[in-house]
Structure 1
Amino acid sequence: MTKLDGKQIAAEQLDGWTYLPGGLFTRIETKDFAAGLALVNAIGDVAEQMNHHPDLTLRYTAVDVRLTSHDAGGVTSRDVRLARAVASVASALGLRGSAVDVSRIEWALDSPARGGVIPFWAAILRMTPDDVDVTDPAGLQPALWFQQSGDEEPRQRWHPDVWIDPAQVQPRIDAALAAGGTLVSDAEAPSFWVLADPEGNRVCLCTWQDRTHPL
Structure 2
Amino acid sequence: MTDVASEVGRLRPQQFHATAGLGDWRVLGEGACAYFRTGSFAAGARLVQAISELPDIEAGNPDVDLRHDGVTVRLITITGEYYGLTERNVEQARRISALARTLDIPADPSAVQTVQVTVDALAGPDVVRFWRALLGYADRANSPEDLIDPHGRGAPFYFQRMQTPRTDRNRVHVDVWVPYDQAEARIAAAVAEGGRVVTDAHAPSHWVLADPEGNEACVGAAGWIGPEPTDHEVP
TM-score of the superposition, structure 1-length normalised? 0.92
State the one-letter code of the partner of 1:25.
C
- Please identify runs of 4+ aligned residues in structure 1 that moved more than 6 A: none
Aligned equivalent of 2:155: 142
* Counterpart check, 1:80 vs 2:90: yes
Amino acid aligned to 1:92: T
Distance 1:198 1:69, change over 3 A: same
Which residue does 1:108 correspond to in 2? 118
Instruction: Report the residue type matching 2:146 in the other structure.
Output: D
Change (3 A) 1:183 1:43: same
Kept in 2, the 8 Å contact 1:164–1:207? The answer is yes
Query: Which residue of the partner structure matches residue 27 of structure 1?
Result: 35
Contact map agreement 2:27 2:33 (CA 8 A) in 1: yes
Q: Which residue of 2 aligns with 1:203?
A: 217
Distance 1:2 1:214, change over 3 A: farther
Local SS of the residue matching 2:157: strand
Between Structure 1 and Structure 2, how many residues are aligned? 214
Q: Where do 1:16-55 residues align within 5 Å?
A: 16-45=24-53, 47-48=54-55, 52=59, 54-55=62-63
Report the Cα offset of residue 44 of structure 1: 1.7
**Bigger shift: residues 48-57 or 103-112:** 48-57
* C-alpha deviation, 1:214, in angstroms: 5.1
Q: Is the 8 A contact 2:76 2:85 kept in 1?
A: yes
* Unaligned runs of at least 5 residues, structure 2: 1-7
- Following superposition, the deviation at residue 112 of structure 1 comes to 1.9
Partner of 1:164 in structure 2? 178
SS in 1 for 2:126: helix
Deviation string for 1:156-183 (max 9, x for gaps)?
2110001111101111011111111111
Written as runs of structure 1 = structure 2, the 5 A alignment for 1:117-196 is 117-129=127-139, 130-149=143-162, 150-196=164-210
Cα contact 1:4–1:214 (8 A) shared by 2: no
In the alignment, structure 1 segments of 5+ residues that lack a partner are none
Given that residues 3 and 73 in structure 1 are in contact (C-alpha distance below 8 angstroms), is that contact kept between their aligned partners in structure 2? no
Looking at structure 2, the residues matched to 94 and 28 of structure 1 have their Cα atoms a distance apart, in angstroms, of 10
CA drift at 1:96: 2.0
3-state SS of paired residue (1:154)? coil
CA root-mean-square deviation: 1.8
Say yes or no: does 1:66 pair with 2:68: no
TM-score w.r.t. the length of structure 2 is 0.84
Shift, 1:5, TM fit: 0.6
